[in-house]
Amino acid sequence: MKKLFFALLSLLIISGLNAQEDPAKALKKATRALGAYNLDPSGNSAKLAEAMDYIEISFSDAEMKGDINTWLRRGEIYNALAQKDGNNMVLNPDYIPESPDAGIKAAESFIKAFEMAQKKYNKKDALKGLSEAGRHLNLIGNYQVQSEDYEGGFHSFDKVLELHTILSANGEDSPLANDEVENQKYITAYCANSSGNTKRAKELFKDLVDSGSKEAGVYSQYFNILNAEGDENAIKVIEKGKEASPNSPELLFAEINYYIGQNRFDVLEQKLKQAIEQEPDNPSVRTALGNVYMNLYEEGYSKDGDTEEVKGHFNNAINYFNQALELDGKSFDAQYSIGSMYFNKAVEVYKKMTDLTMSKEDQKKYEVLKKEADGLMTTSLPYFKKSESINPNDVNTLVALTEVFARTNDFETSGIFKKRLEVLKAGGSHETSHFKE
């Protein structure tokens, strides 16, 4: 209790001193403290903290905010603080910046000073401070992106863009060379989008698209934002991007995802074949093309029955799924998809059996169809076993295994999977698979 009393007393004394400190004198003291720090940064490190305390006392006064010197000094102090962090970051890669927002505060102070400046030398001082703040912001921005602090990186890099505009308009050196501006906008837009600031990301990406950027990522990310919003013009961004970067896999896959969402299987067939040519070792592309043919098969079968064209779609689907498995035998999607195709075809054959009568002729047909259906079920089984070994908690796989084993008269194993299915339906899960790889 005694320690708490003295702590509170100390706080009251400090607060009292701050309240009694004249804001104009505080500005002078801040200036002297900063000067002492600049003479010997390592020996007078405490003077920088002192300068910060005094400048904030001055800054809190409404009248002193009307004095350009308050803003200039505040900018210089926060630049010094950003420089201190920067020096430590260069010397020690593991250093964590103590004041990551110092560059922002410095920049904002010098922007205000520049707006207030009437005298030429004040404008010059403000522009010089802005140039320095921009260098600090680029350094801390890179650190923030590497640390996946995308919101911090966005604010830092976006401020650099603002400073570049001011400095370039006034004939001063910018922290960005003209040929670096496009990349800066791209990184800033990426950080904005990654941190949830979609509005600013859209502005920057649109600016880059309108200026004819050659960077494929600009178009794909802008497309993703527009597509998520349901904007009908989203696909036009991809088309424009392909003009700028014709062989970009990134744009091709963005386009493929768009047409998948639109269920445009006719377009997807051609696009995915193009993707396979560009990425022949990518199993996912072959799985995707297998899915296209599977959908074409299902649509055709329901509409026209088992025509030669429909059979062709079935065979193409199986072919591309198998190609995917040759590249990656542990592809759950490919394993399950092949199993489901044979399984669903068997179900269709079983349905035909139910329409038959007890006549001698129909009973012969029944035996032929049963043999075909049972064969399809048996063919599907190893694929479902493999998919269960990869993912023991997939409901559809367990349903299929329960049915396949029942159809092939292995009721004991069918019962095992029925129980495993019940566990999932009850909200549980399986730590291990029944079938081992």
Cβ atoms within 10 Å, residue 118: 7
Exposure on the CB side of residue 244, measured as CA atoms within 13 A: 21
- What span, in angstroms and rounded, lies between the C-alpha atoms of 183 and 414? 59
Determine the Cα–Cα distance for residues 413 and 360; give it in Å rounded to an integer.
Answer: 34
Residue from 49, 69, 50 nearest 59 by CA: 69
Task: Spell out the domains of the chain, with CATH numbers in brackets.
Answer: 189-262 (1.25.40), 263-327 (no CATH)
AA letter at 201: A
| CA distances from residue 422 to 119, 167, 435 in whole angstroms, order as listed | 81, 68, 18
Instruction: Please give the pLDDT value at position 302.
Output: 87
Task: Give residue 246's pLDDT.
Answer: 85
Q: What is the pLDDT of residues 332-369, one digit of tens each?
A: 999 999 999 999 999 999 998 888 888 888 899 899 99
Long-range contacts, 431-434 (Cβ 8 Å, 24+): 431/392, 432/392, 433/388, 433/389, 433/390, 433/391, 433/392, 434/388, 434/392
Rounded Cα distance between 82 and 84, Å, is 5
Q: Are 94 and 137 in contact (CB under 8 A)?
A: no
What is the pLDDT at residue 252? 85
Buried b (16+ CB within 10 A) or exposed e, 357-373: eeeeeeeeebeebeebb
Burial class (CB in 10 A: 0-12, 13-18, 19+), 181: middle
Angle, alpha carbons 279-280-281 (nearest 5°)? 95
Task: Say if residues 408 and 375 touch (Cβ distance below 8 Å).
Answer: no
Q: How far apart are CA 360 and CA 6, in angstroms?
A: 105
d(CA 126, CA 138): 18
Task: Identify which of 293, 297, 291, 252 has the alpha carbon closest to the alpha carbon of residue 275.
Answer: 252
- For the chain, residues with pLDDT lower than 50 are 1-17
Whole-number pLDDT of residue 271: 87
